Structure 1
Amino acid sequence: MDQSTTPTILMARQPIYDRNQKVVAYELLYRSEGEEEHALFASGSEATSEVLLNAYTSISEGGTVKQVPAFVNINKDLLINSRLPEVSKKQVVFEILEDIEPGPEVLEAVQRLHKDGYRLALDDFTYHEKFDPYIELCQIVKVDVTLFNSSELKQQVQKLNKFRVTLLAEKIETVDKLTECVELGFRLFQGHFLSKPEIVKGKKVQSSHIALLQLIQELQKPNATPEKLEKMILRDPALTFKLLRIVNSACYHLVRKVESIAQAIVLLGLEQVKKWATLIAMTSNQDKPEELTRILLIRGRMCEVIADHDKFPNSSSFFMAGVLSGLHAMLDIDRAEMLEQVPLGDDIKDAVAMGAGPIGEVLRNVVNYENGDWDLLPSDLNGNLYDKAYRHSIEWTRETMQNMYE
């Protein structure tokens, strides 16, 4: 890969959920090459900040576009020297990092932000009475649940309950830990717990999912024809209805309505049918939060864009690997069991299961990028490519999910 010689913005977003597993905010994870590790944005100008915030906090939910706030880390230099960008106070929550030691200078800076009307959060917080003046000025306290056992976590909550703050549990990795934190009184949640499904022994992929996955496999074959695909699609009434609704939606600006699946396939093209079939498979489980669909579509599209750029053959396989990497959470089964049941090529399955081959390498980089695990990315990573692919994939997913409801 070619590495750009100019500094590049590397930014990812991690969702913050409420108790109903609805996204209420994103934490923006940022690193700028060649600049200080905790720089906020490449430019502190209002225009640049607004563009970046809109790119990373604009989402489609239930067919409507909405903005959610951004949690942004600030270090001691930014805090004390007032080098923060001019941004809407409704759009941003400033996170005061855990390594900022309390003192008169820091307290004065926090008081200034509070007076100016900014919402503030304490990051990776462990209670000590020396932080009381800061807690009084903050609206949110983030607690890293991996730092405490159950008894210690309960004690932390009890100590913080005397303040008027919202508790956010971060680094939740399991459903059990999520349940525990809900019972303790946490109101906001952050972590990778959505990729850790509850295992239901003996559960099989539903027939409707199997039909969709078989269709996706057929779409990857070079000799697939509209007529053959039509026969497969017609087996599933819900899929038939949704594909016709999509192709007849306003986004395709058709002069006349499409009346057959074969017509729809010709007009959409095989690549578009494949993407829509995948999306329908993912959204057919209404019990799962919309954010999980969004994450997997962003991941799949980003893998595909990078594969196209690097001229890998069959970039659609990269898209499928990105989506399948978390589809087991949609189906509430173990990933290995899902891969045994779905009819897909070994190159995709090996990439998802073991990170093997070119597909696995791209998938691994994309997952580390979206999680903000910058130290796990290769040193020669094309940061500009990944940044552009990520932004494009966020926008593509927003439009795609919006079209599903039109």
Structure 2
Amino acid sequence: MSDFALVRQPVFGGTGSLIGYEIRFRDSDGPGSFTQSVLSGTFDLIRNRMPAFVAATREQILSDAFLVGEPGAVIIMLPPSLTKDDATSEAVQRLAEAGASLALDDVGADPVPAEVWLPQCTWVRVDARSGDAAAINTMCDRLTRGAGKDGPRLVAAHVEELEQYEATLERGFDGFQGTFFSRPEPLPAADLPQSTVAAIRLMGLARDPTITDGQLEDVIATDPGLTFQLLRLVNAAAFGGRGVASIGQALRIIGRQTFLRWLAVAIAAARKSTNGMDYELVRQAVERGRLCEQLTGAGREAGTLFLVGLFSLLDAVFRMPLSEILERAALSPEASDALRHRTGPYADAINVAESYELGLFENAQEIAKDMGVDPARLGEYYTNAITWTADALGATAEHSTGPATPAPPSPSPSRRS
């Protein structure tokens, strides 16, 4: 059990590729939590070989906390209030000599004291909520004035609405981060690939006790792609890469309920990803399912918890209204109530997961406590979910990086409502 809590949030490039993660720590854990996470190996596990944006305090900078581990893997975000004096100048120089990158964090419309560090910064993290397109442009002119093409790269943080995304994209920002990217515009049902519709309907069949294992195997066998995904997942995660050669054999060995979980993962993994944003959504959905699965007790069954967590993001994964997904998947009434109305014994599991993913650690702990779940174990459960998902979905670097990823389509203006 760790003595700290942390969470990661993706940072995307202009082409939709994953360029890094922001890693947030719980404030109450104090400045030593970064060092603890590095020494325990948790930090490298969470960043998954990607650059990590980490908010720094003056105390951490002066104590050389970020020289622990691999400085080149961390983009140290200087707090807006950090003033320049002999002590901080010497500390920042040590970071630069060690190969660490610096970013100016949480910049808004009004100048902040830390802007004196702009010449040393390779990144600036701009609050996308600071104003309209004109205000964003004025702010960026202030930050890049006189810097030329070697000036800092800009990350739009807290992107929550279409207008914010469009304004920063048009300005030429290099990175984007926020809740906007986890809720893309659903596609009309008529535009959905038939394979997606069929796969979701398959979930309903798998839950139907009147459907025999043989009938279920026959239906799955008609989709070679899904069959391959499912056998790969079951073999890799459940049997160490060997032992299961057919859908029927998997059903007989692991049982219908466990099979149902792997079927849900396979359906999500079969989503055709066009860029890092798509793939991160799939991974986040599976991670949330695994996180929720660990919140058992008080009449909450692990398999249903997994499905509730995973399905809470499937509307974003498939760009399909949640109501249509639930109609096709035929989940239990308790699961449907949690997803549709946030009521019933499974609703709080979603609330815990969402709060934790947003870095609202205290809120997540309070809800977990009310559920009868040990709140001190949420960090452990979250790290476990990331590890489990990485094992289930396999290596992800080829999906998240690379120059050939196409630009994401601009979200529909209907998102303005």
TM range (shorter): 0.7 to 0.9
5+ residue gaps, structure 1, are: 1-5, 59-66
Match 2:140 to one of 119, 135, 157:
157
The answer to whether structure 1 residue 401 and structure 2 residue 393 are counterparts is yes
Kindly report which structure 2 residues correspond to 1:1-400, keeping only aligned pairs within 5 A, or say none. Answer: 8-31=3-26, 33=28, 35-36=29-30, 39-41=31-33, 43=35, 47-48=39-40, 51-58=41-48, 67-84=49-66, 86-102=68-84, 105-126=87-108, 128=111, 131-162=114-145, 163=147, 164-201=151-188, 203=190, 205-221=192-208, 225-244=212-231, 246=233, 252=239, 258=245, 260-282=246-268, 283-287=270-274, 289-307=278-296, 310=297, 312-340=299-327, 342-379=329-366, 381=369, 382-400=374-392
Root mean square deviation of aligned Cα: 3.1
User: What is the deviation of 1:119?
Assistant: 0.9
Conserved 8 A contact 2:78-2:105: yes
Conserved 8 A contact 1:46-1:85: no
> Which region of structure 1 is more displaced relative to structure 2, 182-191 or 227-236?
227-236
> Which region of structure 1 is more displaced relative to structure 2, 270-279 or 322-331?
270-279
SS at match of 1:295: helix
1:14 counterpart letter in structure 2: Q
User: What is the deviation of 1:296?
Assistant: 0.8
5+ residue gaps, structure 2, are: 399-417
SS at match of 1:122: strand
SS at match of 1:306: coil
SS at match of 1:136: helix
Runs of 4+ in 1 over 6 A off after TM superposition: 248-251, 254-257
CA–CA separation in structure 1 for the residues paired with 2:324 and 2:204 = 18
Q: Is the alpha carbon distance of 1:272 and 1:402 closer, same or farther for their aligned partners in structure 2, counting shifts above 3 Å?
A: farther
User: What is the deviation of 1:233?
Assistant: 1.5
Conserved 8 A contact 1:111-1:137: no
TM-score for the superposition, normalised by structure 1: 0.83
Q: Deviations over 1:235-277 (max 9, x none)?
A: 434323433455566973677772x432232245434432332
User: What is the deviation of 1:403?
Assistant: 7.9
Q: Is the alpha carbon distance of 1:271 and 1:174 closer, same or farther for their aligned partners in structure 2, counting shifts above 3 Å?
A: farther
2:376 counterpart letter in structure 1: N
More helix by share: 2
Conserved 8 A contact 2:54-2:75: yes
Q: Deviations over 1:51-110 (max 9, x none)?
A: 12222112xxxxxxxx11222211122223444451212221111122435555444433
User: What is the deviation of 1:400?
Assistant: 0.7
User: What is the deviation of 1:355?
Assistant: 2.0
SS at match of 1:168: strand
TM-score for the superposition, normalised by structure 2: 0.81
CA–CA separation in structure 2 for the residues paired with 1:181 and 1:84 = 30
Q: Is the alpha carbon distance of 1:270 and 1:154 closer, same or farther for their aligned partners in structure 2, counting shifts above 3 Å?
A: same
CA–CA separation in structure 2 for the residues paired with 1:96 and 1:339 = 45
CA–CA separation in structure 2 for the residues paired with 1:250 and 1:346 = 29
Count of aligned residue pairs for this structure pair: 384
1:12 counterpart letter in structure 2: V
CA–CA separation in structure 2 for the residues paired with 1:256 and 1:390 = 29
Identity %: 25
CA–CA separation in structure 1 for the residues paired with 2:205 and 2:189 = 27
Q: Is the alpha carbon distance of 1:264 and 1:378 closer, same or farther for their aligned partners in structure 2, counting shifts above 3 Å?
A: closer
CA–CA separation in structure 1 for the residues paired with 2:11 and 2:116 = 26
CA–CA separation in structure 2 for the residues paired with 1:124 and 1:265 = 51
